[in-house]
Structure 1
């Protein structure tokens, strides 16, 4: 048993050490300590070579060996073959390791056998592995944080077969320690074409085993949009298209991914083909630090592909502040006059504002019960009602705020529309923020049970007006007392929290997991007494106003003072 245990522990130590060296290679040797909040991660592929069972190993050693081999399979050339060696023959054929991944807080280890168990006189034993699950990963690579992590017992039944102990009953899926998860699974954004514009790409973050991540990504693109993006995005792949391979090759020193698909791909138009290639290139370029070219094949035929003019989500324009009753532009480290005919002083009690990314309306919340469009002729009322959420104006010029219980209110050029998704029933909206491309919305709502952050897709009609929301994802489930959410990356939210004692905090959380942290949401340090939060999908970073009107900006985790006596701040959107 000692030899088996050393083999497993050795493999884990090699992985952890290699991961640490990869991280240390990027740590500056001088200057201040800086904590990054970038919307991405450095991708490092590290392989583990698990060892199979050794003759004479006792039941606990068999479970330990199995757990180590199952974790290593995501990077091992032998995949799950070694892990199956620890199972009985019939269970090895039915165990489904890809059914689910449970990310656990600590390294899972089985309890010691009851001293009263005599292994010489029994052929069946049961062992329990206790672990605290903090997140789950489904078979499609979708990551979900657990809101209330609990210590659970995972049961393994072992039998003696041929004189050796093997596992005869266990749950499908694998247990992966949190500190190893990011080394074993690769955060990858899939890009789907928006339903209203195939050239606008909408990201969906997934996590795939590092050894097979490219093929897995293509398979999931072929499978089409997930439920929460159906009706919001579209697939350009013809029905029945299958993947042959997605292999990296090097030509003249340039790495290119050759994607070989079935012959159905040959039926699409040249424009569709160009967008498909752009989708794949954007997906493969995640974390690479460069654009990865793609060669498309239909069967054995290489297809000619022209460059596609596609767009990824990004905030249009710089942040704005209200200072001394005027709108000013945040430019670099200074504030500049913002040229507009709108007169902020015409708003009686400005408590929040939003600016259209498309250069449309400037919208203010007046007090807490009125939202107005600030035109050159003065304020024009858009909404009236109690406790209205701070407005968000999307790329189509539609203004969003809260409605009654379980409702959102939206208004563009036409009449006001009320949206009542089922998942919002019984909850009061306190924050709403539309993503830059206009296909997704982040909503913070509260109920007696507490606050929740949801992200849903926006279904629009032919005139780009919202008509419904899709099924929502729960984001940042472990983060409590959230009062505001803003998009700070393509799949990242910045969250402002305030507990019952009035203490504030700023967090970042991922829609589908936070790429730079192995999935889990994290709190930013160095902040206190935050009154307002602004974020955008831009290099300008997160902005906050602290108590007393101090505007601070974030540069890779370092908070710097930018201006004084600032009342409000917002990015376009």
Structure 2
């Protein structure tokens, strides 16, 4: 088959779209930064897709369609050009937003027969194979694939009015991994916590760059996702929709006008203020700078007072345990704690520090957790017992979390009561790590299954007294490609630090996104330089990840390099 200029034009388009090497370069490597700012400032690069050329053969039509579909998310025409490759009967039925499959390599059609061998055929089939490494659903939720899947796409191409056009295809689009972060913008939505509407809980999504503001506000109005059900709430009155699809930011820094349907006026003043803050925080995260918002009910500007909302953050210093004494990690220095602790008769194997001053707890061996008093007056007080307890985590209400039996979590509340949490999705799994996010609405769980370890994040459902009673029924899978995870800790608003250890005892530190890792186009990333980590801690803070090596060296990650802080350290923990 002669492809000539038709194929050259399509190939050039796809090369710019999927390679982005000579056309414009989006960073896909370099130092991994962790902390509160884990959604990086993002630059929009628009791509102008090319439509079909006269006389293009089936191979060129499919190749051109693949390029136009990828470029659509940054093009002012969106998917209009991609639809030019389709027959009239599928133009309106093809749904490009139904799903996105992130593929390892640029998708290219398989070679076809020559033109002469096509003969008088009016319909041919063109195959495209690709390896999926992640998916993006219609709500913008990103999920890594644990075992990359080989996809076999089939395009039916038919002569229509003398030209070849695609007459049958699957919904959705294929996006090469090296281009994903340019075509889709990482944007955190914020939802009020169920027990405190001024505490905002983040949920990372990915939206087409051309329309990300509109889609982000629509998803906010739709309410929290399944994995946050019961842990967060929606303050938006039922039926509220965007009254105008245009949400554009002014160049002079003026507030963004968000025009909603008249139902928004039913929201009480205090709730309306939080809704405005939700939208402001979401648009600010996506833009990488503060964005203020004016709310409208149709054309009427609403009076909105400022709301004092909080985002998750680790505000207290990390602590270390060395030779039976507590130390503070203060601006890269290890400073002895002014008050002594009594560790008589216990074997400290894990440390947890409360975000609200007390308690401070340690795991004694593997089957007991004790509370220690940093005043020298009281000895260790046992609070939780059981075999193979996970390293403890203390939430923002002062409750201590660890594992229970199979399928269980144990919690010792600030009211000095033991609570067992048994989410259905944990049945049959042994929990080996639990970490509660700073705002107390999310828990990261590492569990063992017959096929290996898995990491999930789920909303925490609490009763009226703040005691946990369950986790959200549908958890979010995180870091699926990362094997042998033994511990997970929150290291950003929507980022987890993962400690891995293989059968030979070699360890590693990964960062994985709760909804995708923004700085790497969604994919989990391994931090270099560590193979002998005994213990890890992290916090939602710019201070980064801390590790203790098997030799007792305390190290801190800074711009991709591990810096020594102290020697002969036993344990370390950020609050949480």
Which residue in 2 is equivalent to 1:505? 508
Cα shift readout 1:310-363 (whole Å, capped 9, x = no counterpart): 0000012011100121110000121112234532x2251000011110112111
Q: Tell me which of 428, 433, 436 is aligned to 1:434.
A: 436
Counterpart CA distance in 2 for 1:37 and 1:118 is 57
Is 2:418 aligned against 1:416? yes
Aligned-residue offset at 1:116? 9.7
Is 2:533 aligned against 1:530? yes
Which residue in 2 is equivalent to 1:248? 248
Question: Which structure is higher in RCO with an 8 Å CA cutoff and minimum separation 6?
Answer: 2
Q: Tell me which of 541, 544, 561 is aligned to 1:541.
A: 544
Counterpart CA distance in 2 for 1:449 and 1:335 is 41
Aligned-residue offset at 1:5? 3.5
Which residue in 1 is equivalent to 2:575? 572
- Assess, with a 3 A threshold, how the Cα gap between structure 1 residues 4 and 188 changes in structure 2: closer, same or farther: farther
Which TM-score applies when normalising by structure 2?
Answer: 0.95
Aligned-residue offset at 1:19? 7.8
Q: Tell me which of 33, 36, 47 is aligned to 2:33.
A: 36
Counterpart CA distance in 2 for 1:401 and 1:324 is 25
Aligned-residue offset at 1:567? 0.6
Aligned counterparts, 1:452-463, within 5 A:
452-463=454-465
- Assess, with a 3 A threshold, how the Cα gap between structure 1 residues 43 and 9 changes in structure 2: closer, same or farther: farther
Aligned counterparts, 1:256-405, within 5 A:
256-340=255-339, 342-343=341-342, 345-346=343-344, 348-375=346-373, 376-405=377-406
- Assess, with a 3 A threshold, how the Cα gap between structure 1 residues 77 and 116 changes in structure 2: closer, same or farther: closer
Which residue in 1 is equivalent to 2:95? 96
Which residue in 1 is equivalent to 2:486? 483
Aligned-residue offset at 1:165? 1.1
Counterpart CA distance in 2 for 1:79 and 1:203 is 28
Aligned-residue offset at 1:264? 1.3
Which residue in 2 is equivalent to 1:122? 121
Counterpart CA distance in 2 for 1:34 and 1:242 is 41
Which residue in 2 is equivalent to 1:449? 451
Aligned-residue offset at 1:150? 2.2
- Assess, with a 3 A threshold, how the Cα gap between structure 1 residues 337 and 539 changes in structure 2: closer, same or farther: same
* Cα pair 1:315 1:536 within 8 Å, conserved: yes
Which residue in 1 is equivalent to 2:67? 68
Q: Give SS of 1:146's match.
A: strand
* Cα pair 2:239 2:263 within 8 Å, conserved: yes
Which residue in 2 is equivalent to 1:87? 86
Q: Give SS of 2:255's match.
A: strand
- Please list every run of 5 or more consecutive structure 2 residues that lacks an aligned counterpart in the other structure: none
Counterpart CA distance in 2 for 1:183 and 1:202 is 26
Which residue in 1 is equivalent to 2:7? 5
Counterpart CA distance in 1 for 2:382 and 2:391 is 14
Which residue in 2 is equivalent to 1:30? none
Cα shift readout 1:457-482 (whole Å, capped 9, x = no counterpart): 10001111000011211110000000
Which residue in 2 is equivalent to 1:514? 517
* Cα pair 1:8 1:50 within 8 Å, conserved: no
Q: Tell me which of 463, 467, 475 is aligned to 1:472.
A: 475
Counterpart CA distance in 2 for 1:493 and 1:339 is 31
* Cα pair 1:8 1:51 within 8 Å, conserved: yes
* Cα pair 1:371 1:382 within 8 Å, conserved: yes
* Cα pair 2:155 2:166 within 8 Å, conserved: yes
Cα root mean square deviation, aligned? 1.8
Which TM-score applies when normalising by structure 1?
Answer: 0.95
Number of residue pairs matched? Answer: 564
Counterpart CA distance in 2 for 1:160 and 1:460 is 61
Which residue in 1 is equivalent to 2:159? 160
Q: Give SS of 1:275's match.
A: helix
Aligned-residue offset at 1:151? 1.9
Counterpart CA distance in 1 for 2:4 and 2:521 is 31
Q: Give SS of 2:512's match.
A: strand
Q: Tell me which of 492, 495, 509 is aligned to 2:495.
A: 492
- Please list every run of 5 or more consecutive structure 1 residues that lacks an aligned counterpart in the other structure: 28-32
